[in-house]
Amino acid sequence: MSTIRPGSPTSYWLAVPAAAWMLAAVVVPTLLLLWVSFWGGRAFSTASPLTFDNYIRFFSNGAYLGLVLSTFGQAALLMAITGTLGYSIAYFLVVKLQSARWRTALFLAFVIPFWTSTLIRAIAWVPFLGVNGVINQALIFLGLTSAPIEAFLYSMAGITMAQVSLYTMLAAGPVVYMLNTIPPALREAAMTLKATPFTVWRRIIFPLTLPGVVIGQVLVFLNVMADFATVATIGGNKHALLGNLVLNFYEGSQLRFASVVAVLLMVCMLAGVALALRVVDIRKLGA
């Protein structure tokens, strides 16, 4: 048993390395981004005056505001799709599938793709979504269409399909954990009292798994808001989200506007997490 008591000088000294790392890797870069976003004047210098001109110019542009709404809309759509699919997958693996061997095999089949980078998984979708891709060839073979469908690649539909495949397991993982913490006897007792399967799920299972649902949705929200690689790969130059706007501003040496968008993204992400904490206390996930 540890003899270090909470609040003792030793506990604070042990936290110094982690605090120093967070200060150097998170706090200082964030403050630097915030500082650059307020730079004014024509000269690109640390001596530039601090103003709100960059933010005013950004929010005065209708195209940029439309991009903000598109990013939130895409995040909401992905949260709805991945939330439904992820919960269904988790419920099937934990509750419906009785064989431990099959449960492990299927779970590994879902997890193994995450061993590769997001960019590689996004690029792997291009041969599936193209005019001569696997999906179009399958549709033609089944007689569902007579000509290839061009709406899959370089479209928001293709981006959504790729992102669903990338982020569904983020929504399912925490639900799997929460379902495993529910004793089977709890469900059996409810069934013994003549409760229907839907009532058992609505009154017992779903409330107990809600923290897992919320944390999974938070993970999906954060990843979609920051995703630029999938959008650039599948959407080409026809579609963009806020993450792509940061990259475009940076490549154009417009660091002040890149910082504005980056700060806006961070604020939106923090607001999303704060909203999730008001819905349910996800800090009790491991309790």
By the 8 A CB rule, do 82 and 170 touch?
Answer: yes
Whether 90 is covered by a domain: the verdict is yes
Give phi and psi for 50, each to the nearest 5. -95, 120
pLDDT at 167 > cutoff 60: yes
Does 105 reside within a domain? yes
Question: The pTM is what?
Answer: 0.83
d(CA 113, CA 164): 13
In this prediction, residue 1 has a pLDDT band, given cuts at 50, 70 and 90, of: very low
CATH number of the domain bearing residue 185: 1.10.3720.10
What's the total number of domains in the chain? 1
Residue-range definition of the domain harbouring residue 88: 62-284
Whether residue 148 lies inside any domain: the answer is yes
**Do 85 and 213 form a contact (C-beta atoms < 8 A)?**
no
Residue 149 included in any domain: yes
Going 63 to 65 to 71 to 72, the CA torsion angle's sign is negative
CA distance linking residue 57 with residue 232, whole number of Å: 25
Query: Is 86 inside a domain boundary?
Result: yes
pLDDT at residue number 87: 93
Question: What pLDDT shows up at residue 83?
Answer: 93
Q: Is residue 164 part of a domain?
A: yes
Q: Contacts by 63-70 with C-beta closer than 8 Å and gap 24+?
A: 64/245, 67/240, 67/241, 67/242, 67/245, 68/242, 68/264, 70/241
Residue 28 within a domain: no
Look at residue 10 and tell me if it is in a domain. Answer: no
What's the rounded Cα separation, in Å, for the pair 165 and 153?
15
* 149 within 8 A of 202, measured Cβ to Cβ: no
pLDDT digits (tens, 9 = 90+) for 219-251: 999 999 988 888 888 887 778 888 888 888 888
Instruction: Give the model's pLDDT for residue 74.
Output: 92
